[in-house]
Structure 1
Amino acid sequence: MWTVVSAGELPARERFDWFADLVTREVMPTALTAERPADFQAEAAVLDLGNVRVARFSFSPLRSRRTPALIRRGDPEQYQLGLIRRGATVLSQHRNDCRVGAGDLVFWDTSRPSQAAMPDEAGPVQLTMLQLPRTVMPLRTQRIDRLLGSRIPGGHGLGAVLASFLDSLDAHAGQCGPGDLPRLGSVVVDLTAACLAQNLDAEDQLPAEARARTLLQRIHTFVDTHLGDPDLTPAAVAAGHHISVRTLHELFQAYGDGETVQAGIRRRRLERCRDDLARPELLGRPVQAIAARWGFSGPAVFSRAFRAAYGVSPTEFRALSVKDARAGRTAGAVAPA
């Protein structure tokens, strides 16, 4: 589960120092400065995935310096990769300089000096950061070093797949059991390595198993993107990735979670329909319109599949969701101050 901490309950004068101490303890020793420390705000959350750790940060603009003296003071010997969700960051490391905005990724090494700045004009920063032991990366260090202090586009290719997976971790990892988390960590390592390899034109250096798991994650992202297409079938998925349908099924059998391709498509469609049916702002949208939006061929097919999955009809589920939402609002209205 995510472990969340916030400076919000501290006196304003203590918040910046609290965050600087947090970064030094949980990330690496770093010298931080802020233009207006008295107005500083910050929140952080951490998710352990075995050898890999994911951290979410939200904080006011600041500057950071990682000097040789600070490296000697403490070095986790990690590669770290950040997905900028909001704001902007300017990073310098290993003779590279880059400016990274929302939606893109940036890569650095804790064992090398670096400088970073979050411009005030870009506003508060929201960052998801991966902490990856150097030993888990299957690529040669000399190749990886070329990407230090570099912007990695998050809008296409494996950068987009990795960003999408981090989004799903943010939304759903808290509901996973302890046994699932190390497996998620393995996926994070594979996707990160594949993303770096793609940007280095070194995909042939990846182990075959890592390439297979990365392809499976790309397929999951493709399916999520095309759920509304009623013609999304295993054949269409295979064609979209230039593999045979047999290879697609073998990939799911070897590296999936026991679910067939078609079952996975149906489950994802049902989950999207369920989410929409529970949204009060969509109460006026007909059930069949929601089903069609997510690729179901007709209301009868959708109703049977929904009842089989959730034990009630779509209409009954919507009515129960509305009742629960109204009960929650009523409870909030009468709750004591």
Structure 2
Amino acid sequence: MIGTVFRSDDVPAEHRFDYWGELMHRAIAPSHMSSEFADDFWARQRLLELGPVLAWPTSHLPTGFRRTEKLVRQSDPEMYHLSLVLGGGLGFEHLGRAEAYGPSDLWVSDTSRPYEVHLPAGLGRQVITGVGVDFPKALLPLPSARIQHLLGRRLSGREGVGALLTGFLTGLEQQADVLQPSDAPRLGTVLLDLLSAWFAQVLEAEDALPPETRERALTTRVRAFIRQNLHDPALTPPVIAAAHHISLSYLHRLFQEDSPGETVAAWIRAQRLEGARRDLADPNLRSTPVHTIATRWGLVRASDFTRAFRGTYGVSPTEYRVQAGSAREPE
């Protein structure tokens, strides 16, 4: 497991809002916080320290944030802050821009400048969900003058690298319980590369990125494409290379540099087999035929699937399903 989890239910009711406020001030630059539900507050948050990057998936009752000129003078960690809204609505004002944000919207702010997060009317006790990311300005390989054009703008997390970034951030929360502390620095590097690639795409400044950043971001994009298309039996290295407008040899080189000794085809097969294994262990899919599950994961030849599954997990798919079912039976 990575990250530390805060649950407001673990704190006495009268201290919940203040306790969460202190936690937020450690995650982001200090601001004045207010909520009409401060006396009966609810929040859940996980702080993920990924090297120099801090990511924090959060769910909480409506809260306003205001960072003033005075607070900037008192404390400035020289960070950029990214917010991804997943549920609920928020208003954000920064550098003279005022926007309304909803699910899959992103914004970027600069801790050296004032900002305000305010709430639309009529929210009631609707829970706000999202992910925040804070990272040092010095780590972004783009001129600060270019970044200024993005601050306070409503940006989309629904397409292109923005969608890939959104998927990565939501996946952090989903996988946090099985990830190991040793994974954190690498995840931070991947996240910085994705952020850099996203900034560059929005600014049409991809050529300004260092080659290694572009390559790592491309590798992440390729792996995400593969995961999304595992169901397609026609998914092959030449198809993947063509979809990303790169040569087949360059695709193989990306994988070799990212994971020495790993081939594209082997990684596709491993992902398909792992997906099939999870489905075979799912009690909700107990009545689904084995060959149907295999086909869903792009494994259309029954004999090839059985042989590959046995070679990886030591038993046939049918035997694995029986064992998984027995493990769930109460004694």
**What TM-score do you get using the length of structure 2 for normalisation?**
0.94
Unpaired stretches in structure 2, ≥5 consecutive residues: none
Would you say how many aligned residue pairs link Structure 1 and Structure 2? Answer: 328
Matches within 5 A, 1:205-284: 205-256=208-259, 258-284=261-287
1:163 aligns with 2:166: yes
In structure 2, the residue matched to 1:94 is: 95
In structure 2, the residue matched to 1:121 is: 123
Counterparts in 2 of 1:106 and 1:74: CA distance versus 1, 3 Å: same
Q: Which is worse superposed, 288-297 or 28-37? A: 28-37
Q: Distance in 2 between matches of 1:34 and 1:255?
A: 45
Q: Which is worse superposed, 134-143 or 161-170? A: 161-170
Q: Which is worse superposed, 153-162 or 112-121? A: 112-121
Q: How far does residue 173 in structure 1 lie from its aligned partner after superposition? A: 4.4
For residues 135-191 of structure 1, the C-alpha deviation after alignment (integer angstroms, 9 at most, x for no partner) is 100010011011111222111100011111223322334434443321211111110
In structure 2, the residue matched to 1:149 is: 152
Q: Which is worse superposed, 113-122 or 285-294? A: 113-122
In structure 2, the residue matched to 1:335 is: none
Q: Distance in 2 between matches of 1:103 and 1:324?
A: 39
3-state SS, counterpart of residue 228 of structure 1: coil
Counterpart residue type for residue 193 of structure 1? S
**What TM-score do you get using the length of structure 1 for normalisation?**
0.93
Q: Distance in 1 between matches of 2:205 and 2:31?
A: 32
Counterpart residue type for residue 36 of structure 2? E
Q: Distance in 1 between matches of 2:173 and 2:259?
A: 21
Q: How far does residue 59 in structure 1 lie from its aligned partner after superposition? A: 0.5
For residues 6-63 of structure 1, the C-alpha deviation after alignment (integer angstroms, 9 at most, x for no partner) is 1112232321122122212332211111122223201111111111111121110111
Q: Distance in 1 between matches of 2:274 and 2:132?
A: 28
1:4 aligns with 2:12: no
Q: How far does residue 288 in structure 1 lie from its aligned partner after superposition? A: 0.5
Q: Distance in 2 between matches of 1:167 and 1:26?
A: 18
- State whether residues 87 and 118 of structure 1, in contact with CA within 8 Å, keep that contact through their aligned partners in structure 2: no
3-state SS, counterpart of residue 232 of structure 2: coil
3-state SS, counterpart of residue 56 of structure 2: strand
RMSD over aligned Cα atoms: 1.6
- State whether residues 49 and 182 of structure 1, in contact with CA within 8 Å, keep that contact through their aligned partners in structure 2: yes
Counterparts in 2 of 1:16 and 1:2: CA distance versus 1, 3 Å: same
1:188 aligns with 2:182: no
Identity, in percent, stands at 41
- State whether residues 118 and 125 of structure 1, in contact with CA within 8 Å, keep that contact through their aligned partners in structure 2: no
Q: How far does residue 238 in structure 1 lie from its aligned partner after superposition? A: 0.5
Unpaired stretches in structure 1, ≥5 consecutive residues: 331-337
Counterparts in 2 of 1:177 and 1:25: CA distance versus 1, 3 Å: closer
- State whether residues 92 and 98 of structure 1, in contact with CA within 8 Å, keep that contact through their aligned partners in structure 2: yes
